[in-house]
Structure 1
Amino acid sequence: MATLVAIGYPDETTATAASLEARRLAKDLIIQPDAIATIIRDREGKFHVTTTHHPVGAGATWGMFWGFLFGLLFFVPFFGMAVGAGMGALMGKMTKGAINKEFQDQVRDLVKPGTSALFLVIERSTPDKAVEAMSQFGGTVLKSSLSKETEAELQEALHGEKSAAEV
């Protein structure tokens, strides 16, 4: 089961510093490097999103996932991206409850003007291990599990393949 982790910080800079550590951890295979994103909400309320996405199977990207997620959470536009059929189906699924409504509300409350947040999708290690590694930055940690079904759909949309759990 994959876990979506959001760690909110009370300033505009800590999420960026934490993302650098998360990328370092990615090299140690604790977190996938493409499954990391930061969002900064400046004092005027404008959102600034940073991802480290690269194209993956079937032309889909983690960037598309992050674009959708941030659009769902913060009504940030989808960055003008084209959506394929597989990602469109995933978006429909996620909109209908794959990402817990309570989690969505908590994240919205967390990311106020003048704050930032680090987002991670953790598939291959325990979320607690990754969160512990990020604890040096403090912050408020929120987690939402993605069901096996949603995880499989996410894998298929992003990588063009079924997850090991489905095979």
Structure 2
Amino acid sequence: MASTLVVLKFHTPEGASKGMEIAIGLQKQHLLEIEDAAIVSWPEGKKKPKTIHGQGACGGAWYGAFWGMLFGCIFFVPFLGAAFGAAMGALSGAFADYGIGNDFLEKVRGQVTEGTSALFLLNGQATTDRVVEAFKEAPEFEVISTNLSHEDEAKLKDAFAH
């Protein structure tokens, strides 16, 4: 089964950490297979977000590079200028296997802003109904993006709609 990248946006800088706790609990119950995870937290008054990779999830050096490149493309390119942006744009082709294109980058960049946070989960298998039920206990959030089929993504967004 292919990996799925799910991005959940929380309406507070601390929300994604709470979401990560839920995800780790689900993994311990063998209801969610987390290949890797990362959190982006952007407190009020800060010029750029803080990124945290692999809290309690598997992960490894490859994923560290993956998250670093991804977050560089999303959050730091606008601050680093056009020449660096062109170089990062060339690297963004590496994300194609995960369904990550320019639309994804722009969507996350536009929604994860000061005062919010996001949980990025790279998942294998999941017991969907149990995962959805557990995440109903999470602070208010929305599904920003996945690389699921349109039908499955719509089901997921419907399930998580508050």
Give unmatched runs, 5+ long, in structure 1: 77-89, 148-167
Aligned residue number for residue 48 of structure 1: 50
TM-score by length of 1: 0.64
Give the number of equivalent residue pairs: 132
1:84-113 CA distance string (max 9 Å, x none): xxxxxx864326994033222221121111
1:30-49 CA distance string (max 9 Å, x none): 33445121110122232111
Q: Could you tell me which amino acid in structure 1 is paired with residue 105 of structure 2?
A: Q
Asked if 2 retains the 8 angstrom alpha-carbon contact of 1:38 and 1:117, the reply is: yes
Aligned residue number for residue 81 of structure 1: none
Q: Could you tell me which amino acid in structure 1 is paired with residue 122 of structure 2?
A: V
Aligned residue number for residue 136 of structure 1: 137
| In 2, Cα distance between equivalents of 1:120 and 1:55 | 11
| In 2, Cα distance between equivalents of 1:133 and 1:72 | 31
Aligned residue number for residue 117 of structure 1: 118
Q: Could you tell me which amino acid in structure 1 is paired with residue 10 of structure 2?
A: Y
Give unmatched runs, 5+ long, in structure 2: 78-90, 150-162
| In 2, Cα distance between equivalents of 1:145 and 1:128 | 18
Q: Could you tell me which amino acid in structure 2 is paired with residue 144 of structure 1?
A: T
What SS does structure 2 have at the residue aligned with 1:136? coil
Asked if 2 retains the 8 angstrom alpha-carbon contact of 1:99 and 1:146, the reply is: no
Q: How does 1:69-108 map to 2 (within 5 A)?
A: 69-75=70-76, 92-94=93-95, 98-108=99-109
Aligned residue number for residue 30 of structure 2: 29
1:127-166 CA distance string (max 9 Å, x none): 675344323223010233179xxxxxxxxxxxxxxxxxxx
* Aligned-residue CA RMSD (Å): 3.1
The alpha-carbon distance between structure 1 residues 131 and 3, as it changes in their structure 2 partners (threshold 3 A), is farther
